[in-house]
Every structure is written in C-alpha cells, then in structure tokens.
Chains A and B, each alone.
Chain A
Amino acid sequence: MSDARINRCLEHNVSVVVGSVNAAGEPSTCRALALASEDGLSTLTVYVPVSTSRDTIANVATTGRLTVVATHPLDHHSVQLKGKAATARLAREDEAGVVSRGFDGFAELLNRIGIPPRVTNAVTRWPAFAIEMRVEEIYDQTPGPKAGTRLK
C-alpha cells in the first residue's frame, strides 16, 4: 500500500475508533471525532469526546497502549495504527476546527448512505480530549486477504 493510500486515514470523512486497554488486560473502545498528523504519521493526534472517553483516558494514564482504526465507509479502505500514547489533554479552542471538519465530513458521508444529519447531529463533539500518540506500527485493515498485513 502506498503512502498516499495510508494517508487517506487523515481525510475528513473517515470513521475513527480508538482501542485501549487497562492494567488488568480489559480492552475498551471509543469512537473518535478526528485525526491529525503533521509529521507523516510518526505521531498522531486523535480527538475523542470528553463525555464518552472516560475509560480511554484512564487507560492512557495507566498502560498508554493505543490502537486507532480509520475506515472509509464507502470503499471499506481501512488502516490500523498502533503505538504508545504520550499525552492526553483537553483539546484547545484552536483545534475545534479540526474536530468539526473531521466529524462533519464523516456525517456528510453517512448522510449519503442513509444516516441523516438529524441523527449524527446528536453525537457529542465538544469538549474533546486530544490524545497524542507515537505511531509504532501500521496495518492494512481493509477487508480481504491482505487484512492484517503490516505496512510500516
């Protein structure tokens, strides 16, 4: 998979899910709002709603192990990025645009496949936590025979 294909995970119309784990080995999921990276996916900032990310933030503070899956709902193109969280903090006001563009783009795409804005508008978006992680591994997650192939 080319870098361009991998970088599609940063487009503003992807479904993003974060996985984390606590010290007892209990995994947890959290739907995320947006992704951002300014260094070619060496590091990644993932934005999650404050209201739904209690377990994720607690897990970041204890084990720090994270996985992030970004999926295009139309063509199922999907990558999974695994790594270690460096920090979790409240998202700044100047990051509200990133969060808004990320989820609005996803909601717009969902509208095209039959889930209308009156449904997606109800999802909590702000305030958000920004979790900054160091990406250590990237996997192809697109359904098919290459699913699970390590890309980086």
Chain B
Amino acid sequence: MRLSDLSRCFQGIVPSVIATCDAGGTPNIAYLSQVYMLDERHVALSRQFFNKTQRNLDENPLACLEMVDPLTFQAYRLRLTFLRSEKSGPLFDQMSMRIEAIAAHTGMTGIFKLIGSDIFEVRSVEQIYRGVCASCADSAGAERRSGRAAPRPRAS
C-alpha cells in the first residue's frame, strides 16, 4: 500500500491519532491536526502542544499513527520512526498556514499554533478495518445526486 493512495487521509478532516511510549513503557495518545505527506516513505506531523509526545519520542523514536479516510471511514495504521523536528523553513511555513486554516475552521483560533514539524520515516502502512469502499461511497453519492436511495453499506 502506498501513502499516495491515502490522499484523503491527509486532508485533516478527521483528526489523526499518534501513540508513543516513554522509556518506562507507558503509552501516550495525542490527536493531530495535520499529517503532511513528504514522499512515499516520510510524513511530517504538526506539533502544537503535545509535549508528552515529544518527550516520549526523545526517549523512544517509535510511534504509531492512525489515519481515517473521511469519505469511507477506512482506517490505516502507520508504523513510524521519529527522525527530526523542523522549527522554520518552507515545510514549517506551509504547515503553519494550514494549521491556522484548520484552527479557524474548528473554532480553535489562538489555541492551535504550530511549534514544530516533526518528520518521521514510515516503516509500514496497514489497513485496519474496512469501511465503505471508495467506489461504493462514490456510487452512493451518484445515486443521491440522481435522486435514488443510497445502498445500505455492508457491515464488515
């Protein structure tokens, strides 16, 4: 599975979730406003408040990211290794602008503020549950537009 196949997951409509773990073995979860695809093997995550996540990554660079396709609710699990954090430069500026847009859209202006673009290597991508397939969702949308009833999705 390629990261570029998950383009809708990178739109920031459904917040992604990151799990990290400290040196003592205690896991931590944080929500992310933005996941930015750099290439097929690297992503950048927005760091706003999650100091615990940063402390954990300093102790243990392994992380797990869960992303959801907002159209199908299909979820994906990415195994990551933290590489570095950028606090300036073109990537930071681009992610910062997008964070401001997300903040305005979600009523979090003044609360969401980018403090770092954390860059990770993607070690694996796994589909973790089947939602409505994209083609089903597309056909449901077409049927809605044509006035016909959308089909009931098949539970997995």
Contact = CB atoms under 8 A, between A and B. Distances in A.
Interface string A50-71: 0110000000000101111101
A25 B100 CA distance: 34
B19 interface: yes
B154 interface: yes
Contact of A119 (B28, B63, B112, B137): B137
A118 B156 CA distance: 13
Contacts, number: 128
A67 B79 contact: no
A55 to B, nearest CB: 8
Q: Interface residues of B toward A: which range?
A: 35 or more
A40 interface: no
B43 to A, nearest CB: 15
Given A26-B64, A27-B62, A118 B20 contact: no
Contacts of A119: 71-73, 131-132, 137, 153
Contact of A19 (B19, B50, B111, B153): B19
5 nearest A-B residue pairs (beta carbon) = A27-B19, A19-B27, A19-B19, A19-B29, A122-B131
Interface of A: 17-21, 25-29, 31, 49, 51-52, 63, 65-69, 71, 76, 78, 80, 82, 115, 118-125, 141, 143-145, 147-148
